[in-house]
C-alpha cells in the first residue's frame, strides 16, 4: 500500500518542468517518499531493518514541508519563524536520534513534534486560504495537500504517542494499530496524486478571475 505514492511521484516527474516553482518541495517530498519506500523495502528484505533511512527521511520530509509553507507565504514573507521552527526540529532530531536514543531504533519523539508542527502549519494555511481561494476547493492543490497533511500527520502523531506511552503491548497490537496509519497513508497518497494534477502551471501571466 505504501507504494501507492508512485502515482503521485510519476505525475510529479512528468509535470515537474511545467509547474509553479513554489510546489517543488512537495514534488521532492513525494519523489523522496517513493525512493525511501523502495529503499526500505530492499533494506527490510536484505538487512531486516529500515530504521536508519526512516529516521533520516522524517527529518528531510519535515524540513521540505516547512520550505513548502514558506513558499506559500504562510509566515507572511517573514523567514525567521520558519527558520526558528527548522532549528527546533533539527535540535530535537539530534537530541532524539544521536543523544538520547540511537539512530538504529525508530524514535517517536521527533516524529511526534514534527507531526504536530506540520499539522499546525497545515491548519493555519487552510485558514489563510479559505477567504482568498477562488474556484472549486477540490481542485485547489494547496487545499488538497493541506488536507492530506492534516489527515496523515494527525494520525501519525496519535499513533507515535501511543507507541511512546505503551511500550509493553504485544507486536500483534502494534502491527494492528500501525495498519491504521498504512490505510490513512494510502488514502493520502491518492490525495497527493490528485493534488499533483491540480498544481498550477508556471505563470507567465496574471490571472484575474
Name the site residues for another protein (rule: CB under 8 A).
Answer: 126, 130-131, 133-134, 137-138, 143, 147, 150-151, 154-155, 158, 162, 166, 169-170, 172-173, 176-177, 180, 184, 203-209
Query: Please, which residue, 13 or 158, has the CB nearer to another protein?
Result: 158
C-alpha cell at 197: 494534477
Name 191's Cβ contacts closer than 8 Å, sequence gap at least 6.
Answer: 144, 145, 147, 148, 151
Burial class (CB in 10 A: 0-12, 13-18, 19+), 87: exposed
Do 22 and 71 form a contact (C-beta atoms < 8 A)? yes
- The continuous run of DSSP H or E covering 172 comes out as helix 171-198
Query: Please, which residue, 35 or 151, has the CB nearer to another protein?
Result: 151
Query: Please, which residue, 97 or 148, has the CB nearer to another protein?
Result: 148
Shortest Cβ 208–another protein spacing (Å) = 4
Give the single-character DSSP code of 99. Answer: I
Shortest Cβ 92–another protein spacing (Å) = 24
Query: Please, which residue, 42 or 133, has the CB nearer to another protein?
Result: 133
Shortest Cβ 205–another protein spacing (Å) = 4
Amino acid at each position: 500500500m505504501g507504494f501507492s505514492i508512485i502515482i503521485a511521484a510519476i505525475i510529479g516527474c512528468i509535470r515537474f518542468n511545467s509547474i509553479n516553482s513554489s510546489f517543488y518541495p512537495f514534488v521532492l517530498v513525494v519523489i523522496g517518499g517513493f525512493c525511501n519506500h523502495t529503499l526500505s523495502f530492499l533494506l527490510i528484505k536484505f538487512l531486516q531493518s529500515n530504521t536508519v533511512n526512516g529516521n533520516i527521511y522524517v527529518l528531510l520530509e519535515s524540513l521540505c514541508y516547512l520550505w513548502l509553507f514558506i513558499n506559500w507565504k504562510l509566515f507572511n514573507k517573514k523567514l525567521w519563524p520558519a527558520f526558528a521552527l527548522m532549528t527546533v526540529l533539527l535540535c530535537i532530531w539530534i537530541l532524539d536520534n544521536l543523544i538520547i536514543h540511537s539512530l538504529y531504533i525508530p524514535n517517536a519523539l521527533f516524529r511526534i513534534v514534527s507531526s504536530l508542527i506540520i499539522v499546525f502549519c497545515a491548519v493555519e494555511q487552510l485558514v489563510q486560504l479559505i477567504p482568498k481561494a477562488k474556484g472549486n476547493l477540490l481542485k485547489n492543490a494547496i487545499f488538497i495537500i493541506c488536507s492530506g497533511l492534516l489527515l496523515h500527520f494527525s494520525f501519525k502523531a496519535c499513533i507515535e504517542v501511543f507507541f511512546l506511552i505503551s511500550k509493553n503491548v504485544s507486536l500483534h497490537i502494534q502491527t494492528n494499530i500501525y495498519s491504521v496509519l498504512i490505510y490513512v497513508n494510502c488514502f493520502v497518497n491518492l490525495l497527493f496524486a490528485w493534488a499533483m494534477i491540480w498544481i498550477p502551471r508556471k505563470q507567465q501571466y496574471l490571472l484575474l478571475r
